Copies of this chain bind each other. A is one copy, B any other.
Amino acid sequence: MDVLVPFAATEPKTRLAGVLRPDERADFARVMLRDVCETVAEAGGSPTVLSTAELDCEWPVVVDDRLLTPAVNDRLEPPIAVVMADLALATPAALSTLFEADGEVVIAPGLGGGTNALVVRHPEFRTDYHGISVADHRRIADEIGATVTEIESTRLAVDIDEPEDLVELALHGDGRAATWLENAAVSIETEPTGGRATVTRD
């Protein structure tokens, strides 16, 4: 299956500013992109990076500097998948489950209302990544009478966007991005009062 991998090439991962410097965020984003493209290929997909700017990359790249939604919609020829470039926890098994799931629209929700991965088999479906996209995508599919399947997978639900997501990568990742994080001396700790672990930097 053709798989679009949207990538924000300019100033990526600004929400990680409390942990990583700008040059590190750019490097880390590219390492995650590489992990994701490789995982897509291992799951039987053919990745094309949809980048907001020119990019040196071992996978095919198309450049479109518009917002995510129009850039994706102009290339939405079914059957096609859209997999975000920061799904550094994704495994071939998780993506295979997505690609092979029945449904004219298959959604892998992200934490916080996002749509981290999507398969589109209905010609009228269009994305809307602004706002609570998982709700919008359910509605859009409903409006065109497309059948919807939702995949529940932590590995697809956790995009690496906020500092707390680095905890998940450190604990559950095994790709280049997890190694990058370890080499960057980002580690995790818990509060004596309990609750979820947080990231810290040596």
Residues of A within 8 A of B (CB): 15, 94, 109-114, 130-132, 134-135, 152-155, 157-158, 161-162, 164, 167-168, 171-172, 188, 190, 194-198
Contact = CB atoms under 8 A, between A and B. Distances in A.
Contacts of A167: 111-113
A48 to B, nearest CB: 23
A152 B172 CA distance: 10
Contacts of A131: 190
A111 B110 CA distance: 13
Contacts of A155: 152
Nearest to A114: B196
B197 A164 contact: no
A176 B58 CA distance: 49
Contacts of A135: 171
Contact of A161 (B132, B152, B162, B195): B195
A111 B188 CA distance: 13
Pick the most buried of A131, A134, A154, A172: most chain B CB atoms within 10 A of its CB. Answer: A154
Nearest to A113: B197
A69 B52 CA distance: 49
Nearest to A93: B152
Pick the most buried of A15, A94, A152: most chain B CB atoms within 10 A of its CB. Answer: A152
A170 to B, nearest CB: 9
A94 B152 contact: yes
A112 B154 contact: no
